């Protein structure tokens, strides 16, 4: 698995779409802007699966407060959440790679 810094924004979206295509039964094509809520693609179990996939694949921690319709509505909004989490994680690390206590 690539290091977290090696994922580019487009690759994050592509990996999310690939995972969703493999696990969802959606009658329409998935794009970064597809409304997953309106398409009926997300139920509580799918959200749990998507959180687990996101945490494992992109090495970020999705907090309970992050699980909201605005963050999970589209691949684009979930991608932004991942990017924000990665940016925050990078900012918390010192040049030596050690986490700086908050």
What pLDDT sits at residue 100?
A: 47
What pLDDT is stored for residue 29 in this prediction? Answer: 83
Task: Please compute the mean of the pLDDT values over residues 30-51 and round it to a whole number.
Answer: 88
The yes/no answer on whether domain 4-91 falls in CATH 3.40.50.300 is no
Query: What is the C-alpha separation between 61 and 89, in angstroms, rounded?
Result: 10
List the domain boundaries for the chain. Answer: 4-91
pLDDT at 76 (0 to 100): 96
**Surface-to-core class of residue 8, CB atoms within 10 Å of its CB (0-12 exposed, 13-18 middle, 19+ buried):** exposed
pLDDT tens digits along 49-102: 999 999 999 999 999 999 998 999 999 999 999 999 988 877 766 455 554 443
Cα separation, 67 vs 81, whole angstroms: 10
């Amino acid at each position: 698995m690539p290091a977290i810094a090696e994922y580019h924004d487009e690759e994050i979206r592509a990996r999310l779409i690939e995972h969703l295509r493999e696990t969802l039964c959606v009658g329409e094509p998935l794009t970064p802007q597809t409304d997953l809520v309106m398409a009926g693609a997300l139920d509580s179990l799918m959200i749990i699966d998507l959180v687990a996939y996101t945490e494992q694949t992109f090495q970020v921690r999705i907090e309970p407060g992050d699980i909201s319709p605005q963050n999970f509505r589209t691949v684009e909004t979930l991608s932004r959440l991942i990017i924000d989490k990665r940016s925050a994680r990078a900012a918390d690390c010192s040049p030596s790679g050690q986490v700086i206590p908050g």
